Structure formats: C-alpha cells, structure tokens
Amino acid sequence: MLRYLNQCSRGRGAWLLLALTAFALEMVALWFQHVMMLKPCVLCIYERCALFGVMGAGLVGAIAPKTPLRFVAMGIWIYSAWKGLMLAWEHTMIQLHPSPFVTCDFAARFPGWLPLDKWLPQVFVASGDCAERQWSFLTLEMPQWLVGIFAAYLLVALLVLLAQAFKPKKRDLFGRY
C-alpha cells in the first residue's frame, strides 16, 4: 500500500483529487452560508482557511509532483490538516460544553498583509456564534463532521509522507511490475 501511495504522490491525479475534495467542501460551506442562510462563526471561518490550505497543497503538489516540490505540498497539507483538526476540536468542545467564560472572537483576525475579510467578505466575514448549533446530520454537528474530515486528511497525509521512504516499483517493457 505504501508503494502505491508513493506512486500516487508522483502523479497529478491524486494531488488534483485532494484539491477537488477540499474545493467541494468549500462549496458546501458557501451553500450553507448563502443558500441555507446559516451564519458562520469565527471558528468556521478559520476552518475554511484550513480547507483552503489543503486545497492549496493539492494545487502545489499538482504543479510538479515528481520534484521535491511535492514535499512542500505535503508540508502544507499536514500543517493545514493539523490546524483544521485543532480548530474543529475546539469548536466541537465549545458546542458540546457551552460556557459564558469560553467564547470565540466576534470577528476573524487576519494579518495586516492578508486581510481576507476585507478582500472577500462573502467568504471570510463571521457573523455567527460559535456555541450555536445550526445544523446536524446523523446526530453530528458541523464541527464534529469537520473533526472527522480533518483527521482523515491528516491520516492520509502522514501515510503519503511515510510512503516516500518506499520506492515505487519499476515497470518493465510490457507494463508489468
């Protein structure tokens, strides 16, 4: 399996699939916000940023998957999945154990050199409360689903990184391994 993951990491298809899954999740988030009229909180916005990081990792990996650039993409992927997992876990704990002493910020804080909330307010402006439960599916709230999603992204990223130690098998003249 690790040889297969190594082989996949050297092709564009797997990286584009990674970017496509993150893009699909971003579109679902925008659907919830603009069609279902759910209000994203600050942690939701930060979780979106982590998903954009995963999508960016997929695009970076797809640029030149047979070069060391794929290791940069893996680094972005692991960092984004880890941060997303931590944010989704924090969000889940706020929802499951609401407290007046543990709240999230009123507005997202982006660095001055990257004011995403000013550049694209339709995507990056928070207007909801982190403790409010707005949507659930199969008894799980949205941040609980994101814990599973980011954990899956992180697990696959770590397996792909581990797989880099295993050389893919060479094919012979007839396409056999």
8 is catalytic: no
Residue 148 CA to residue 146 CA, distance in Å, equals: 5
Of 11, 17, 3, 19, the closest CA to residue 76 belongs to: 19
Catalytic member of 44, 109, 171, 176: 44
Catalytic member of 48, 109, 171, 176: 48
Catalytic member of 130, 133, 171, 176: 130
49 is catalytic: no
Catalytic member of 12, 49, 104, 176: 104
Q: Catalytic amino acids?
A: 41, 44, 48, 104, 130
